[in-house]
């Protein structure tokens, strides 16, 4: 990996369109707990952030109820929701082009790491990534900055100044939500907002994204000068 620039990808909303399975599992969990199910606009905000944060902030659950909700969510997600999912058009080709250009690819997701690995295996993406880092099933390492830090540690790399985005000066983080941008900023890593995902241009710009890209194919010209 010496001399290769790490390119970190979020999973949900960046590599795969995971919304249907996630939202069905959220609805199941809230129904199991007898909690009201919020409207679609609120449900959509579950895609990307850590589950504990979303159940607490979006549904007003206390710590004990959050744990119950996550447990119920996982029952449905493992049985039915995980693969109610699809790889975005253009992602496999973009990954291959970036790897061919000298990038070292990694996944940095707030999703529980075992589930992330299962999804990547299911969709035939695993062999494209040198490192896959997610949260722990016991609730540790859910903050995106912690996830990015661990991915960089495993890659033997360090954060780069934002001015290095796409110029071979260090890592870059690609994600579709403000949490991806915030985690990258905390680690001194440039962030690229994926507009094909679940976040908006306004959300990503307000969070401080270094650049925005409309389609996966747009990553290649932005990041290709890696050597």
Tokens of 183: 């985690």
Looking at residue 114, its pLDDT comes to: 95
Rounded Cα–Cα distance for residues 208 and 123 (Å): 31
Tokens of 85: 């999912």
For residue 61, CA distances in Å to 65, 79, 157 come to 6, 24, 38
Among all residues, which ones are annotated catalytic?
A: 10
**CATH pick for 5-17+86-223 out of 3.40.50.720, 2.160.10.10, 1.10.3720.10, 3.40.50.1000:** 3.40.50.1000
Rounded Cα–Cα distance for residues 29 and 27 (Å): 5
Tokens of 43: 């449900």
6 beta partners: 104
- Give every CB contact of residue 198 below 8 A, 6+ residues apart in sequence: 12, 13, 19, 44, 47, 48, 176, 177
pTM of this prediction? 0.87
CATH class of 19-81: mainly alpha
Helices 178-186 and 144-155, packing angle to 10 deg? 60
Q: What is the pLDDT along the chain (227 residues), one digit of tens a residue?
A: 234 689 999 999 999 999 999 999 999 999 999 999 999 999 998 987 888 999 999 999 999 999 999 999 999 999 999 999 999 999 999 999 999 988 899 999 999 999 999 999 999 999 999 999 999 888 788 899 999 999 999 998 544 433 344 445 579 999 999 999 999 999 999 999 999 999 999 999 999 999 999 999 999 988 865 43
Rounded Cα–Cα distance for residues 45 and 28 (Å): 16
Q: Where are the domains of the chain?
A: 5-17+86-223, 19-81
Where do the DSSP E strands lie in the chain? 5-9, 103-112, 131-135, 172-175, 191-194, 211-213
Rounded Cα–Cα distance for residues 154 and 149 (Å): 9
Looking at residue 192, its pLDDT comes to: 97
Residue 47 · residue 227 · CB < 8 Å: no
């Amino acid at each position: 990996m010496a001399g290769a620039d790490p390119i970190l990808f979020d999973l949900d909303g960046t590599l795969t369109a995971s919304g249907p399975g996630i939202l069905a599992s959220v609805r199941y969990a809230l129904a199991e707990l007898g909690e009201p199910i919020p409207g679609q606009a609120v449900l959509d905000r579950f895609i990307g952030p850590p589950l504990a944060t979303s159940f607490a902030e979006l549904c007003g659950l206390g710590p004990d109820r959050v744990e119950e909700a996550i447990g119920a969510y996982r029952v449905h997600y493992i049985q039915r929701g995980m693969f109610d999912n699809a790889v975005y058009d253009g992602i496999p080709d973009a990954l291959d082009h970036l790897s061919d250009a000298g990038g070292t690819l990694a996944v940095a997701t707030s999703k529980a790491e075992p589930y992330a690995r299962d999804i990547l295996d299911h969709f035939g993406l695993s062999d494209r990534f040198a490192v896959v880092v997610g949260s722990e099933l016991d609730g540790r390492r859910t903050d995106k900055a912690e996830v990015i830090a661990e991915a960089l540690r495993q890659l033997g790399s360090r954060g780069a100044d934002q001015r290095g985005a796409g110029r071979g000066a260090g890592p870059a983080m690609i994600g579709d939500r403000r949490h991806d941008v915030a985690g990258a900023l905390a680690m001194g890593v440039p962030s690229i907002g994926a507009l094909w995902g679940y976040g908006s241009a306004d959300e990503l710009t307000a969070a401080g994204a270094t650049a925005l890209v409309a389609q996966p194919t747009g990553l290649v010209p932005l990041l290709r000068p890696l050597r």
